[in-house]
Structure 1
Amino acid sequence: MNAIFKRCSVRQFTDEPVSIDDIERLMRAAMAAPSAGNQQPWEFFIARDETTRMALAATTPYAAPAKLAPCVIAVCTRTEGLRFPRCTPLDMSAAVENILLEAANIGLGAVWLGIAPEPDRIAAVKVALGGPREVEPFALVAVGHALNHPEPKGSTRYDETRVHWI
């Protein structure tokens, strides 16, 4: 549970690169997420070069952290061969949350940058990635070493009035 309460949205990063080992840990965490019927609809595009990161940052007014992060993960959904296509947003959300939690667990900062369900953002990310046809962008996750360490809010969000005992 510590990673849950340590996690916070980090939007500013140092120039220090994210190691291949750390990226692999994030991908292992993402792929450990539950998915409907074990369909595992995810595909991940890792952007570490400046040109791609800048292109991804331009896909939405809210993606500015992608300019500053040394690594941006484009989390995409396969569009073919899915058993439960209506459940893919749930599967993808679980995968993104696992990335965020593992980033906090290993001392990295990260922030979820929403793409789906906005058609213009989805199209823009596809262009920035070079137009892969068999996937649909779901989210971007900017990852790096935090420049500042924002105070996590997870442990202070508990509101007992939203818990209903039956």
Structure 2
Amino acid sequence: MDALEAIRSRRSIRNYSGKPVSRDLVKKLLEAAMCAPSAHNQQPWQFVVIEERETLDRIPDFHPHSRMLKTAPLAILVCGDGSLFKDADFWPQDCAAATQNVLLAARALGLGTVWMGVYPKENLVSGLRSLFGIPQSVIPFSLIAVGYPAEEKPPVSRYDEGRVHWGKW
């Protein structure tokens, strides 16, 4: 699948077949994440790969929009590492770019994903920090459910010419 097809056909998948995702595919997703652009090439990200069923099932206890983890075979937690910030203003954009790269790479590899927001919601940040023993200098940013889709969603065009301004507002 080419890049534009992956972009146009990527959808949030909330039902998974339960089939395990190989470590090889997970590594490809993480490689894609780490290819993301980064302000001043800081690359302030760290990743937690979550495969344990019991742990995945605990996340919806404090993250109200994560029920799909009950059927997902894994999740990837994208974090910003404060020890890697040279300029602390841009780490959220860097982590968002890494998150988007995971979503697009997964689509291209035949996997489904959904992006769950974490940062800046303190209850979500602290819940994940506590569950995974994440140090205070590292900030959980986003959580991505990953798996083989058990649902198909057609592509949706979101292009809106009314939001395009050529040369000036």
State the TM-score, normalizing by the size of structure 2: 0.93
Matched, 1:70 2:64: no
Alignment gaps of 5+ in structure 2: none
The total of aligned residue pairs comes to 164
Provide the rounded CA distance (Å) in 2 between the counterparts of 1:104 and 1:81: 29
Match of residue 106 from structure 2? 103
Match of 2:120 among 117, 139, 154: 117
What secondary structure is seen at the aligned counterpart in 1 of 2:16? coil
Letter in 2 for 1:62: H
Q: Could you tell me how far apart the structure 2 residues matched to 1:124 and 1:40 are? A: 24
Give me the whole-angstrom Cα distance separating, in 2, the residues matched to 1:74 and 1:83: 22
Deviation at 1:131, TM superposition (A): 3.7
Aligned counterparts of 1:113 and 1:67: Cα–Cα separation in 2: 14
Provide the C-alpha distance between the structure 2 equivalents of 1:116 and 1:134, rounded to a whole number of angstroms.
14
For 2:103 and 2:92, locate their aligned partners in 1 and report how far apart those are by CA, in whole Å: 16
* Counterpart AA for 1:25: K
Q: Which runs of 5 or more residues in structure 1 are unaligned?
A: none
Other-structure match for 1:145: 148
User: Is the Cα contact below 8 Å between 2:43 and 2:84 reproduced in 1?
Assistant: no
Instruction: Assess, with a 3 A threshold, how the Cα gap between structure 1 residues 21 and 165 changes in structure 2: closer, same or farther.
Output: same
Aligned partner (choices 127, 132, 155) of residue 129 of structure 1: 132
**Counterpart position of 1:165:** 166
Distance in 2, matches of 1:12 and 1:110, equals 9
> How far apart in 2 are the matches of 1:122 and 1:90?
17
What is the rounded CA distance, in whole Å, between the counterparts of 2:30 and 2:115 in structure 1? 15
The 3-state SS of whatever aligns with 1:85 is coil
List aligned pairs for 1:44-83, cutoff 5 A: 44-83=47-86
138-147 or 47-56, larger mean C-alpha shift: 47-56
Question: 4+ runs of 1 displaced by more than 3 Å?
Answer: 131-134
Aligned-pair CA distance for 1:111: 0.3
Contact in 2 for aligned 1:52/1:129 (Cα 8 Å): no
The alignment's TM-score, normalised by the length of structure 1, stands at: 0.95
- Cα root mean square deviation, aligned: 1.1
Contact 2:60–2:67 (CA under 8 A) maintained in structure 1: yes
- Quote how far apart the aligned CAs of 1:149 are: 1.0
